[in-house]
Amino acid sequence: MNWLKQTLANVAGTQEPIYGPDAIQSVSRQAETTPYTELKKEDLKWRAPQYTSVETQTFYVMADNGGLAMLQVIYSNVAGLHTTCSFNSKIFSVNADAPHIWHTDTLYNHLFDPDMYSFGADNLALTLNEEGTAYTIKSAVNEDSLVNLTFTRQAPGLVIGKDGTSYFGTDPENPWGSMRHAFWPRCSVEGTIITKEKTYDFKGRGFFVHALQGMKPHHAAARWNFVNFQTPTYSAFMMEFTTPPSYGSTVVNVGGIVKDGEIVYAGATNSATHLESAQDTENDWPEPTSVRFVWDGKTKDDKDFHAELEGSLGKRLDRVDVMAEVPGFVKAIVGSVAGTRPYIYQYSPQDKLTLKVKVGDTEDAEQGTLFSEATFIS
């Protein structure tokens, strides 16, 4: 059994020994002295590390006409021996009775430009412009999802702390893993996704995140919360993960609020709370039904800052079984050894929620559109 555990850990990311909370150097520590750092163009380079890792660039769009979509390029490396790339596209159905238009396709003959800013593969181009202010996504990978979208940054991009990275390992000078997130919180979006049935116009607002999990994903995090909230003038975001017990079940939360073209607040002193949950009868995860997200800290001119977003999530958009494509016997073994049952719950409530913001003694509130995910892994 010990040999089996180690073999699965090497391949699938099953349980590790208990190292304790001191074995993670959270980005929260950086944020104590440097709450956030604005991105430069060179910070947007693909890393493509030659060790076990998953690197993603993910684009979310909330169209002016009510449409909601997600696009994602995944670059995955296993032990420096095998690299796979894929492209995911998802047009969410706001009608609960209609299916989502969801495609995940393997990419072939992938390559990066010499400066590692842009990514390409057969029938796909993800291109950063010369100024470093806009991404264009063009895909004909799947004939039922022809993508031609441009995301243009409308506010500064940022990482929390100095480099946006939490490091894992018992020796801080020689970490064995990492977790990094870089954000464009507020973008304008132009373009379309064409399916066999119709052309979807996705002119509207967007959000972009570049993530690098520099270790086995199951080892890095047991749970996730993600928030993307867009109003006419505000953009609020939050990315929170909780480590497995091997790293002390440590909570790492990064997030921020931008207003128009300016960062109002960004830092690591935020919280995501599931106020009410319902037990999922299919897998026993406590699916959230009501939530509260809170951003707390200081503005760059040292004023007290507080923002909160609270309310019902309504009926979920989707529940994604991450291991659905894994062979059944592997799924059973991994689940029994590691307690690994990854599911992603996705929400965008039809009833508008209200973001409440307080800067010093000045209060403001604005309704907007929420896209949120709650992920349970192990």
Residue of 334, 373, 8, 377 whose CA lies nearest to 217: 377
β-pairing verdict for 82-91 and 68-78: antiparallel
State CA 158 to chain mean position distance: 14
Hey, how many other C-beta atoms are within 10 angstroms of the C-beta on 298?
14
Which pLDDT value is given to residue 50? 86
Which pLDDT value is given to residue 130? 97
Which pLDDT value is given to residue 15? 60
Residue of 323, 342, 333, 249 whose CA lies nearest to 9: 333
CA–CA distance, 220 with 245 (Å, rounded to integer):
10
Which pLDDT value is given to residue 329? 42
Which pLDDT value is given to residue 338? 55
What's the helix, strand, coil split of the chain in %, to 5?
A: 10, 55, 35
SS3 state of residue 3:
helix
Q: Which residues contact residue 198 at a Cβ distance below 8 angstroms, ignoring those fewer than 6 apart?
A: none
Which pLDDT value is given to residue 282? 87
Beta partners for 145? 142
The ranges assigned to domains in the chain are: 1-9+25-376
Q: Which residues contact residue 332 at a Cβ distance below 8 angstroms, ignoring those fewer than 6 apart?
A: none
CA atoms within 13 A on the CB side of 275: 11
The model's pTM is 0.93
Which pLDDT value is given to residue 341? 80
Return the CATH number of 1-9+25-376, one of 3.40.50.12280, 3.40.50.720, 2.40.370.10, 2.60.40.10. Answer: 2.40.370.10
CA–CA distance, 154 with 143 (Å, rounded to integer):
31
Digits of tens for pLDDT over the chain (378 positions)? Answer: 444 444 445 455 456 788 999 999 999 999 999 999 999 999 999 999 888 888 999 999 999 999 999 999 999 887 767 788 999 999 999 766 788 999 999 999 999 999 999 999 999 999 999 999 999 999 999 999 999 999 999 999 999 999 999 999 999 999 999 999 999 999 999 999 999 999 999 999 999 999 999 887 778 899 999 999 999 999 999 999 999 999 999 999 999 999 999 999 999 999 999 999 999 988 889 999 999 999 999 999 999 999 999 999 999 999 988 877 554 544 444 455 456 688 999 999 999 999 999 999 999 999 999 999 999 988
Instruction: Tell me the one-letter amino acid at 166.
Output: S
Beta partners for 325? none
Which pLDDT value is given to residue 340? 67
Hey, how many other C-beta atoms are within 10 angstroms of the C-beta on 15?
18
Which pLDDT value is given to residue 36? 98
CA–CA distance, 226 with 242 (Å, rounded to integer):
12
SS3 state of residue 334:
helix
Calculated CA dihedral for residues 376, 57, 75, 325, nearest 10 degrees = 40
